[in-house]
Structures are given as C-alpha cells and as structure tokens.
A and B are shown apart, each in its own frame.
Chain A
Amino acid sequence: MNARLQGHAASNPTSTGTALLSVDNVSLEYRTPQRVVRATHQVSFEVDPADRFVLLGPSGCGKSTLLKAIGGFIAPCEGEIRLQGQTVSAPGPDRIVVFQEFDQLPPWKTVKQNVMFALLASGTLKRREAEERALHYLDKVGLAAFADAYPHTLSGGMKARVAIARALAMQPKILLMDEPFAALDALTRRKMQEELLLLWEEVRFTLLFVTHSIEEALVVGNRILLLSPHPGRVRAEIHSHQYDLHSLGGVGFQHTARRIHGLLFNEGQPPETERELDFTDIRIAY
C-alpha cells in the first residue's frame, strides 16, 4: 500500500527521474467574462512509460482542463509540464488526444482518410506509408471493413474506435484520453474498455485517461490520481494494476472502490468494511 502523502507534493516520492511526463506544481485558470476561475491548484504527478495513468475526480475538479494543458491547448499559470524533459508549450503530434465528443473526426474524410490525415498533416509519414499504417491500425480496432465509410454512417462506438486507431497510428509519446467512452451506452463502453486493454497489452503505449467513473478508473488504469473538487488538488494516488474487467463485483475491487469513494466525497477516513455485503453494495458497474 502506498503511504499517505502530506499536502500535495510530488505524487511519487520514489521517482527515479525516468518519468515520461512530469506535471510539476501546475495551477490552471480559465477566464469567464466576469472573473478568473482556478481549475486546478498546484497539481504534481509523474507518468512512467507504459503506464495507464488515470485522473479521477468529481465533475469540476479540473481533470479535463489538466488533460488539455498537457495537450498544450491551455498554458498553466503556475508550474510546468514536461514531456521527456521538454516543456510543453503548444499542441503537437507527440501527444494525441482522444476526445469524448463524436465530432472530433472531420466529417468530410472517410475513416481511412481520417487516420491518414493525422499522419499527413503532421508530416509524420508520406502518403503510401500513411495508408499502410492507417489500414494496419484500423484492422487492430476491427474497422478494416469500414475504411471507406464516412463518419456520419458509423455508430458512436465505431467513431470512438476510429479516434483510437487514429491516435495509435500517430504512435505518440503519450496518448491522452478525455472521457473517451462517456458518451457511449453501457454495453459498448464495457466492450471498448476491454478492447483498449487488449490493445495496450499488444502495443504497450503510455496512456493518460480522464474519467469520472470509479469503476472505469479501476478497470482501465494501473495508477489512479484522485483529485478533489473546486479547485482540483491531488487527494491521493492509488494502485489499480491488479484489477481488470473480471474483477468487477469482486470483494477487493469493491473495497478499493469504496475507499476511493470515501476519499473523494468525505474528508475523513474511508469507512472500513466490517459489515456484511448486501445488495446495495454490489454495483456491477453501470
């Protein structure tokens, strides 16, 4: 078990300096016409290569804003974000974002062209190689048969798959996913989580995943960073490498889920589980 940390210092005190991504005391603010709102306050954490790092928190904890800052879309007002030692200052093809919204795929390009477009526009590959790689990754997400379909003819889950294929084809240093499955129905979401984990087994990419679902965080991630609401501050870091989709409903899984719930919503100690499990405790996720 990892020790409780004082305040919100670096999330991993035993960091060895091999981190792929380091977020160092980052505060983020956004502007409304009337005032400036602080979204996160001095958040620090480090992501190692091949981590499946999850940012988890209630809505309004600034987790999406944090992800956008790592993507380079928002500049931090304090602190620094470094990718392999390089300070992040602008969006770039080394950090590909998978958004929640379905309109992230340009509708005027077919599925294959969508994946190729990312490769060509960023100057990663020439046309021939781009096409080859696009088809390879489309095959991986099971959409080879739909290569020439336009996005508006696809279902939500298929669009999410295209976005993932596009991101993987870019072979970014880190893959940023902003609640990618939140707009999907429960069955599709579960299938997508399963496929994402299978892809990770195969490709071993580094993933930063934002979600507001405790179950999804436990299933998808190997490390979970809990953020407190308004403004987002680091509350804890939890290991979840031992859980997968088969752990749903298991005792250990439920215990960790309840612990996270306690950390997120009550300020005190998480309630210990001496009592019998009853029907209301069994949440078969979604």
Chain B
Amino acid sequence: MSHLSPVREEYEVDLQPLTHVPLERELPLGQRLWQQGWLRKSLILLLLALLWEGVARYQNNDLLLPGFLQTASALYDGLLSGELLGKVWISLVVLIKGYLLGIVLAFGLTTLAVSTQFGRDVLSTLTSMFNPLPAIALLPLALLWFGLGQNSLIFVLVHSVLWALALNMYAGFLGVSETLRMAGRNYGLKGLRFVLFILIPAALPSILAGLKIGWAFAWRTLIAAELVFGATSGKGGLGWYIFQNRNELYTDKVFAGLAVVILIGLLVENLVFDSLERVTVKRWGMQR
C-alpha cells in the first residue's frame, strides 16, 4: 500500500457567530398573495364569469342563454323574495338526511369487512353489483316502495353515497401500514376500538376523498330525482324550481337555480372539506 501525501496543506477555521447576515427574509408581497388559494380560485371564477357574459352578449338571445348579469339579478330577486332559499332548505334537509344515513351504513359495512372474511366478500360483491347502478334508475322502484315522499328520495341518496364511500374507506383501511397495525395491537387494541383508534384516523385521507365523492354524488342524484318526480306533497326543492321555471321559459331563473347548485357545491368543498383537511390530514403531514 502506498501512502501518497496530499499536496495541499491541512487547515482549520475558527468560526465567529454569524450576525451581519439576516437568517430569514420575507417573500415579496405578490408571491405571498399568489400563495392564497382563495385568491387564485376567485380569479378563475371571475375569468369564467367574464367569458360567460361575453358569449351571452354575442349570442344575444335571452331565452337560450341569459348572461351572467341577468342570472345574477334573477338570483338576487330569488334570494330576496325568499323563494330560492326555501327551496334550497328543502333540498338540503333531504340531502343531509340521506348523506348521514349513507355514511353510517358505509362505516358499518367496512368495519364488518375489515373484521371478517365474510364481511369482506359481502362488501366486494355488493359494491361491484350496485356501484355501477345509477341511483336515478332505482327511483321508479323507490317510488313504488316508499311512495311519493321524502323516503324515496332518501333511499336513492343512500344508494348513491354508500357504495362510493364504502369503496374508498375500505381501500383506505387496506392501505394502513403493517407497522402501525402492529403498534395498535401491541397496546391491546382489538375489534371496534382498533377500527376507531387506529384504522379510521390512519385511513382518513381516503375517507375524506370518499366523503367528497359521496357528497357530489348525493347532490347530483337529488337534483336529478327532483327534476324527474317533482314536488313531494306540494313542497319541491331546487330541482323542482329549475324544472318549473324551464316549463315557464324563465331561462334566467333556470340559470339562477343551477348557479345555486354550483355555489353550494363550491361552498361545501372550500369551507367544509378544506377546513376538515386542514385541521386533520394536512396538519398531521399525511397529505400535502
């Protein structure tokens, strides 16, 4: 072995405390503003509204395509008279009932699926059978069984929420790491307590995704169902409002109704689900 001595000299440096260089500095105002999600999204909405108004002006036919401003004024009138809010309330009450019932059933089904082989087979068979079945296709049957009332609406809502959510939740449970499972069992957690304290929080990113999809499915199904069979005992929801105004050719009111559907969707997505994500999975570093 030959030991070639290096040509360079060794040296050591005495480090003085670093005081004259700032350790952190702020980003410029423009960049900080651009990092605000709501600002970027508002800008997108503004662009879309401008585009819509432009196309409507070019088209120049109120009956086919009312512009943004016209729709906004119809929306304003509807909100002011309280008519639209009443319809929204009727729809939301039904929606939330069906949504919650669907969530409870999905939790039950997936808990069964992670505990037993039989439950797993039940879940996979049922989801593959019913998930592709459109909820609206079940509406005639629901009307036959539950009559022209809220119950048939809730039935189709549960159908639209349950399978999508159960599928996501179960996929989330399967994705929980073996180490985390063993750590939980190490504390003596078993059965329902294991599902509640380990599996559900660990699968929360998937569960939240499932809840979002379920919410969208439920909204869609409800509006479509109301369009098909209209009012229940004289009190129709948002779908009925859209349907009625189309029949009377108040196209701007139809657009106002659709706008409300969209607005509620945006509101729930950005306020409810985003805050839920912020205080849970994002805070825990489980999702970026």
Q: Which residues of A contact B (CB under 8 A)?
A: 68, 71, 73, 91-93, 95-97, 99, 101, 103-108, 117-118, 121-123, 150-153, 279
Contacts and interface: CB of A to CB of B under 8 A. Distances in A.
B179 A73 contact: no
Contact of A104 (B183, B193, B204, B286): B183
B186 A153 contact: no
Given A106-B201, A121-B197, A152-B285, A92 B183 contact: no
A93 B284 contact: no
Contact of A93 (B1, B187, B193, B286): B187
A121 B184 CA distance: 9
B79 interface: no
Contacts of A95: 186
B183 A73 contact: no
A107 B188 CA distance: 19
Which of A93, A103, A153 has the most C-beta atoms of chain B within 10 angstroms of its own C-beta?
A: A103
B180 interface: yes
Which of A73, A123, A151 has the most C-beta atoms of chain B within 10 angstroms of its own C-beta?
A: A73
A95 B202 CA distance: 23
B175 to A, nearest CB: 12
B182 A123 contact: no
7 contacts: A71-B186, A96-B186, A99-B182, A101-B177, A104-B182, A106-B201, A121-B193
Contacts of B283: 150
Contacts of B285: 107, 150-153
Given A103-B179, A104-B182, A153-B285, 4 more contacts: A99-B183, A101-B177, A104-B183, A150-B283
Contacts of A107: 202, 284-286
B182 A108 contact: no
A192 to B, nearest CB: 18
Given A108-B201, A108-B204, A279-B1, A71 B182 contact: yes
Given A121-B193, A152-B284, A153-B285, A103 B180 contact: yes
A38 to B, nearest CB: 21
B246 interface: no
Interface string B180-219: 1011111111000100011001101000000000000000
Interface residues of B, number: 23
A97 B179 CA distance: 10
A91 B179 CA distance: 13
A113 to B, nearest CB: 11
Nearest to B182: A73
Contacts of B179: 99, 101, 103-104
B280 interface: yes
| Interface class of chain B by DSSP | helix
Given A99-B179, A101-B179, A150-B284, A106 B186 contact: no
A122 B180 contact: no
B201 A121 contact: no
A123 B187 CA distance: 9
B79 to A, nearest CB: 40
Nearest to A101: B179
B287 to A, nearest CB: 10
A68 B198 CA distance: 19
Contacts of B284: 107-108, 150, 152
Contacts of A121: 184, 187-189, 193, 197
B188 A92 contact: yes
Contact of B186 (A93, A150, A279): A93
Nearest to B285: A152
A200 B37 CA distance: 50
B186 A117 contact: no
Nearest to B286: A107
Contact of B180 (A93, A104, A152): A104
A224 to B, nearest CB: 25
Nearest to A170: B187
Contact of A117 (B1, B177, B187, B202): B187
Which of B179, B187, B201 has the most C-beta atoms of chain A within 10 angstroms of its own C-beta?
A: B187
Interface string B260-284: 0000000000000000000010011
A244 B189 CA distance: 37
A244 B180 CA distance: 32
Contacts of A117: 187, 197
Nearest to A96: B186
Contacts of B198: 106
Contacts of A103: 177, 179-180
A51 B201 CA distance: 37
A122 B180 CA distance: 15
Interface in B79-96: none
Contacts of B201: 106, 108
A68 B186 CA distance: 10
B199 to A, nearest CB: 11
Contacts of A105: 183
